[in-house]
Structure 1
Amino acid sequence: MKQTGDLFLVKKINKSIVLDMIRSRSPISRAKVSELTGLNKTTVSSLVNELIDEHLVHEMGPGKSSGGRKPLMLLFNEQAGYAIGVDVRIDSVTAVLTDLGGAIKDHCWFQLESNSAEHICGVVVRAVRELSARAPESPYGIIGVGVGVPGIVDEQGSVLFAPNLHWSGVPLQQMLTEELQLSVVIDNEANAGAVGEHKYGAAQDTDNLLYVSVSHGIGTGILLGGHLYRGSSGFAGEAGHFSIKLDGEPCSCGNKGCWELYASENALLLEAAKLDSVRKHTGGNPPALEDLIRLAEDGDPQVIAVMEHVGRHLGIGISNLINLFNPQRVIIGNRIALIEPWIAKPLYDTVKERSLSFHYARVSLEISRLKLDSGVLGAASFALQAFFAKTQISL
């Protein structure tokens, strides 16, 4: 009996290795899979046939030959199923449909009318169902949902604390799983952004990454050695709530002088709302970031000055993170990426001034090219990881 169990385990491990090789290297021949994995050709051929039967791999035309018959090339079937990634913000929900390779195939966006857990859960369900209905037919259908939330999330997918949403102890994974009857993964939105940049953005060749997500608040996804650093309890990355001013303004987290009070989109909007040109532009209503972008594009000097001020405060916090973690790369993303033309120089100048010279000399600092897609792509990636983990064995 033990031998049967051992043989089954070995086969499952080998099948996982073969699938990973085809996913990462396709188009690839059976012979090349055998060469790169060290598995014999008979084993590879048998496992590939199973993966073809399971619709995860298919054959394309013959490849180049170095002599003899041309080999049939294998492709990972990225359209065998679809994942949904969701990014929850304090005022909206964005969702994308991706194939198994992470390519975005569809998307939707909804404005939030309330920050209550019930309302947001309902909007997420609506987004998932809308994308599911529009998804192409496939052997595995919707394989799962990943959700990024601006708050502290535990291993059970409960949102323990999300100050900007005014949430505490919300069992979001349970709520969504019961409603959708799908596999659901919940994580912090900055962690999702870091994974999105690592898998699909500028950090694909980076093992040590800081992703700074700046929207209404600030979160940090930390990648060390190619893996998310979560801390001893899984709550690492709440850099928006470290204090940069001893006697600063009170924060929704209960602290005061928090970084996000001076360097977030919300900080920018609050400061800009005091300007005469902004009040005139909005008719006295609270401005949106898009209002400020239009005014800055028109050359409004006061709006540009406020943006630069926020950029300098961003630089202060980022220089502290660089001095602490000594990362290869720092990527600033989310909504703040939309005002790159006006914050980039003051941000970069401040980081250079305040970072230790040895740390600064070895770090790449940039604003995300994925802009608003880092988080939703990372969230979809969590769903994909959960799907493929069902056929994998961790050694």
Structure 2
Amino acid sequence: MKLTGDQTYIKRMNKSLVLDTIIAHAPISRADISAKLGLNKATVSSLVAEWLDERLVLETGLGASSGGRKPVMLLYNAQAGYAVGVDLGVNYISAALTDLSGVVVARERQRLRDAEPGAVLERVVGLVRALTAQAPASPYGVVGVGVGVPGIVDGDGVVLTAPNFGWRDVPLRAMLEDAAGLPACIENEANAGAVGEQRYGIGRDASDAVYISAGVGIGTGLIVGRDLYRGASGFSGELGHMTIQADQGLPCGCGSSGCWEMYASEKALLHRLAPHPEREDLESVLRLADEGDAAAADALSDIGRYLGIGVATILNAFNPEMVIVGNRLALARAYVEQPLLDAVERRSLRQHRRRARIEFASLGLDSAALGAASLAISRFLAAAKAGEQA
């Protein structure tokens, strides 16, 4: 019987639900999928057979019997393909090769000194190729690349503005797809970090969370109802540019002044300690603080206090379950955490902070790269569910 349009849609939706159920509950039997989804066993068996043919599902050993024959269990084939995630920082590029469940297979990290778009593209493509060469053999190979960028990105993968790079209207997705020959997803770096921690890190159990990417600048990614919140125009999360010093504030690259990132970022830390050649980056400041340098320790404590001022505002405004501090300043946790918590205690409303958890990113410096990779994986799986993959 030829399927009508409605029947085709329903079948595609049910097939998608079957794969999602296997991913979420594997190892799982066909009978258990049928029970969870309310689909008859023949329909489930037919849809599972298609996923087996497409090699995104595997059969494994026998499960426990419920009175009859032991069922064959099903697994998601996370090694059916791989993805590359890239965290494009202001002064570094970090990249990871993952399987389709986000397990890291290989990593690469480089310093970045030239922010000209062509130079950055060349470095990114070089990392993508280096990681692609390390991907194990698989049915689908490397399915795509995701890139987190410290700027505002539109739905076409154009970086509309990246103040710390001096970029405006850079069509990064088109440039990368043309140069690397892979499907690409371009996302704001803080959004990518939020997705990474929500899917693979400390935020897995939180329905509503705010991820703070505290590096050279500050960005935030908002998770609402377990999904990334983008706002009406798709550009939410620029809380690094909320004003915390209204009068005589420090000028910011965004064109305003008194922005949070001018007081609570790595850039703010180094500005406070300048001019001292031995304090040229966060690592050198941490080393000095560990050696007993009072100026370095005090500056880190002050950064923590300003981070806490912003976190208190976030708690008061959004009332999230969790606030996650990530990116490079998370390396300074030993120095910034207590001043941050003290500022939150003084400045946030009691009802808002009572149930909120303030955590540091469990993925370390991989949050944005893994989040970017997961976006490429999601795009691949969406195409597979729509029948667009070979």
Residues in 2 aligned to 1:66 and 1:299: alpha-carbon distance in whole angstroms = 65
Match of 2:258, SS state, is coil
The answer to whether the 8 A contact 2:273-2:279 is kept is no
Q: Which residue of 2 is the match for residue 386 of structure 1?
A: 379
Given residue 370 of structure 1, which amino acid in structure 2 is its aligned partner?
L
Task: After TM superposition, list the pairs within 5 Å mapping 1:55-204 onto structure 2.
Answer: 55-204=55-204
1:181 Cα shift?
A: 1.8
What stretches of structure 2 of length at least 5 have no aligned partner?
A: none
Describe the SS at the equivalent of 1:211: strand
Matched, 1:355 2:348: yes
Q: How far did 1:12 drift? A: 1.1
Kindly indicate whether the alpha-carbon contact (under 8 Å) linking 2:251 and 2:258 is maintained by their aligned counterparts in 1: yes
Letter in 1 for 2:351: F
State whether residues 161 and 167 of structure 2, in contact with CA within 8 Å, keep that contact through their aligned partners in structure 1.
Answer: yes
Contact 2:93 2:109 in 1 (8 A): yes
1:289 aligned residue (279, 282, 289)? 282
Partner SS, residue 391 of structure 1: helix
Per-residue CA distance 1:5-58 (angstroms, 9 max, x = gap) = 222222211111101110111000111111111111111111111111111011
2:278 and 2:284 in contact (8 A); partners too: no
Shift of 1:66: 2.2
CA shift digits 1:135-154 (9 cap, x unpaired): 00100001111100000000
Report Cα offsets for 1:172-230 as digits up to 9, x if no partner. 00100111121100010000011111101111111111001000000000111122111
- 1:5 counterpart residue number: 5
Residues 281-303 of structure 1: per-residue CA shift (max 9 Å, x gap): xxx35511111111122222221
The whole-number CA distance in structure 1 between the counterparts of 2:97 and 2:214 is: 23
Q: Deviation at 1:340?
A: 0.2
The answer to whether the 8 A contact 1:153-1:186 is kept is yes
Give the whole-Å Cα distance in 2 for the aligned partners of 1:13 and 1:55. 19
Deviation of the 1:168 alpha carbon: 0.5
Aligned to 2:253: 252
Using the TM superposition, give the Cα deviation of residue 3 of structure 1 relative to its aligned residue in structure 2, in angstroms: 5.0
Distance 1:349 1:303 in 2: 19
- Whether 2:310 is the aligned partner of 1:345: answer no
SS in 2 for 1:223: strand
Write the distance in 2 (CA, Å) between the matches of 1:231 and 1:74: 38
Structure-1 residue corresponding to 2:14: 14
What corresponds to 1:48 in structure 2? 48
Deviations 1:155-185 (A, max 9, x none): 1000001000110110000100111121100
For residues 283 and 113 of structure 2, the distance between their equivalents in structure 1, rounded to whole angstroms, comes to: 19
Separation in structure 2 between the aligned mates of residue 268 and residue 51 of structure 1, nearest angstrom = 52
Give the whole-Å Cα distance in 2 for the aligned partners of 1:344 and 1:224.
25
**Range with bigger deviation, 331-340 or 8-17:** 8-17
**1:263 is aligned with what amino acid?**
A
Between 240-249 and 142-151, report the one with greater CA deviation.
Answer: 240-249
- What are the within-5 Å matches in structure 2 for residues 225-244 of structure 1? 225-244=225-244
Which is worse superposed, 139-148 or 245-254?
245-254
| SS of alignment partner, residue 364 of structure 2 | coil
Give the match's secondary structure for 2:155. coil
Decide whether the 8 Å contact of 2:197 with 2:362 is kept in 1: no
Q: Distance in 1 between matches of 2:278 and 2:335?
A: 23
Structure 1 runs (4+) deviating above 6 angstroms are none
Secondary structure at 2:4's aligned position in 1? helix
Task: Tell me how far 1:391 sits from its aligned partner.
Answer: 3.3
Corresponding residue for 2:328? 335
User: Contact between 1:12 and 1:391, CA under 8 Å: does it hold in 2?
Assistant: no
Distance 2:63 2:267 in 1: 54
The alignment partner of 2:333 has SS state of: helix
Q: Which of residues 301, 308, 312 is equivalent to 1:315?
A: 308
* Alignment-mate amino acid for residue 365 of structure 1: I
Which residues of structure 1 form unaligned runs of 5+? none
2:367 aligned residue: 374
The offset of 1:392, in angstroms, is: 3.6
Q: Distance in 1 between matches of 2:160 and 2:345?
A: 36
1:271 corresponds to which residue? 272
Q: Residue 145 of structure 1 contacts residue 380 of structure 1 at CA under 8 Å; is this kept in 2? A: yes
Distance across 2 between alignment mates of 1:93 and 1:224: 28
Rounded to whole Å, the distance in 2 between the matches of 1:112 and 1:364 is 34
Q: CA RMSD in A?
A: 1.3
Report the 3-state secondary structure (helix = DSSP H, G, I; strand = E; otherwise coil) of the residue aligned with 1:156. Answer: coil
Alpha-carbon distance in 2 for matches of 1:2, 1:194: 44
Secondary structure of the structure 2 residue equivalent to 1:70: coil
1:25 equivalent in alignment to 2:25: yes
Q: Hey, what's the Cα distance between the residues in 1 that align with 2:184 and 2:157?
A: 9
Q: Distance in 2 between matches of 1:24 and 1:234?
A: 28
Q: Comparing 157-166 with 62-71, which one deviates more in the overlay?
A: 62-71
- Alpha-carbon distance in 1 for matches of 2:202, 2:279: 34
**1:323 partner SS:** helix
State the Cα deviation string for residues 91-147 of structure 1 (Å, max 9, x = none).
Answer: 111110000011111111122230101111111111111111110010000111110
Q: Distance in 1 between matches of 2:337 and 2:292?
A: 16
Contact 1:96 1:105 in 2 (8 A): yes
| Secondary structure of the corresponding residue to residue 139 of structure 2 | coil
